[in-house]
């Protein structure tokens, strides 16, 4: 089973909730880091939280980099494909419907989620990306028609500068995604107002999810 290939944590859903929230931590985090936030933002959803398997100076990451803000593109591509396969197999192993799969990622984790969407466009039904970057032009040109994405970004973020969030939003929109870019005035950590908005955004996204095997629109929200 793929789920045995890496450390991860699974928190079960409430009895009838079809949502699984895929959690992707930032650099130095692990499979436990985003579980409290996931439980707050998507109460009742199952939480699937894998650990990034790349090590950088003792810190966990989802893909390698050459320096801060300089991605190892080949490793990013390989790890995104690897994670997409792992998620599909883990959801199957735990009887979680892919029709209910949403993503929540922070920093390095947010970046692996958009890369997963680029490699496997039908996997996620929506994603919240906190403090993401797009310091490269992806080779993939996926069809993300209607995919709802919320980007939370800090106007004073020294690690993931505002122009990076804007570049990612533009790239996703060019691929057909329905992107909302939500700003806060702080730095790399998302502000309370952004997290409160993410909770409302996820509630709307979850309301549009089908029961297992059904179909529903991907469209959620608008641009802020």
What is the structure's pLDDT at 5?
81
* Residue 179 maps to a domain: yes
Q: How many domains does the chain have?
A: 1
Q: Buried b vs exposed e over 183-195: b needs ≥16 C-beta within 10 Å?
A: bbeeebebbeebb
* Residue 217 maps to a domain: no
Catalytic residue among 33, 77, 120, 157: 157
Catalytic residue among 5, 17, 75, 188: 188
For residue 174, what are the domain limits?
Answer: 2-207
* Residue 218 maps to a domain: no
Host H or E run for residue 118: helix 108-119
* Residue 129 maps to a domain: yes
Q: Is 188 a catalytic residue?
A: yes
* Residue 118 maps to a domain: yes
What is the structure's pLDDT at 69?
86
- With a cut of 70, say whether residue 52 has pLDDT above it: yes
Q: What is the mean pLDDT of the chain?
A: 92
- With a cut of 70, say whether residue 37 has pLDDT above it: yes
| Section 17-41 average pLDDT | 98
Q: Is 157 a catalytic residue?
A: yes
Give the tens place of pLDDT for each residue, 177-218: 999 999 999 999 999 999 999 999 999 999 988 764 444 445
Written in H, E and C, the secondary structure of 128-167 is: EEECCCCCCCCCCCCCCCCCEEEEEEECCCCCCCHHHHHH
* Residue 219 maps to a domain: no
What is the structure's pLDDT at 137?
87
Rounded to two decimals, the pTM is 0.92
- With a cut of 90, say whether residue 223 has pLDDT above it: no
* Residue 138 maps to a domain: yes
Task: Please enumerate in sequence order all residues whose Cβ is within 8 A of that of 47, keeping only pairs 6 or more positions apart, or say none.
Answer: 9, 10, 11, 20, 21, 23, 35, 38, 39
What is the structure's pLDDT at 211?
60
Catalytic residue among 25, 33, 107, 184: 107
The half-sphere exposure of 113 on its side-chain side, counting CA atoms within 13 A, is 34
Give the tens place of pLDDT for each residue, 135-156: 898 888 999 999 999 999 999 9
CATH number at residue 101: 3.40.50.1820
- With a cut of 90, say whether residue 64 has pLDDT above it: yes
């Amino acid at each position: 089973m793929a789920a045995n290939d890496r450390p991860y944590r699974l928190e079960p859903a409430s009895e009838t909730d079809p949502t699984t929230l895929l959690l992707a931590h930032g650099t130095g985090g692990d499979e436990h880091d985003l579980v409290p936030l996931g439980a707050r933002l998507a109460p009742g959803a199952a939480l699937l939280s894998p650990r990034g398997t790349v090590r950088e100076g003792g810190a966990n990451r989802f893909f390698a980099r050459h320096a801060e803000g300089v991605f190892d593109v080949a490793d990013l591509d390989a790890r995104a494909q690897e994670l997409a396969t792992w998620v599909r197999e883990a959801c199957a192993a735990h009887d979680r419907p892919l029709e209910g799969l949403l993503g929540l990622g922070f920093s390095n984790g947010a970046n692996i989620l958009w890369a997963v969407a680029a490699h496997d466009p039908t996997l996620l039904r929506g994603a919240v990306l906190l403090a993401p970057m797009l310091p490269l032009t992806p080779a993939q040109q996926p069809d993300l028609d209607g995919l709802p994405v919320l980007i939370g970004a800090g106007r004073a973020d020294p690690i993931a500068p505002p122009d990076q969030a804007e570049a990612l939003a533009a790239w996703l929109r060019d691929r057909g995604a329905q992107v909302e870019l939500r700003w806060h005035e702080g730095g790399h950590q998302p502000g309370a107002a952004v997290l409160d908005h993410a909770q409302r955004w996820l509630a709307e996204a979850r309301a549009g999810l089908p029961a297992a095997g059904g179909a529903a629109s991907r469209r959620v929200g608008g641009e802020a």
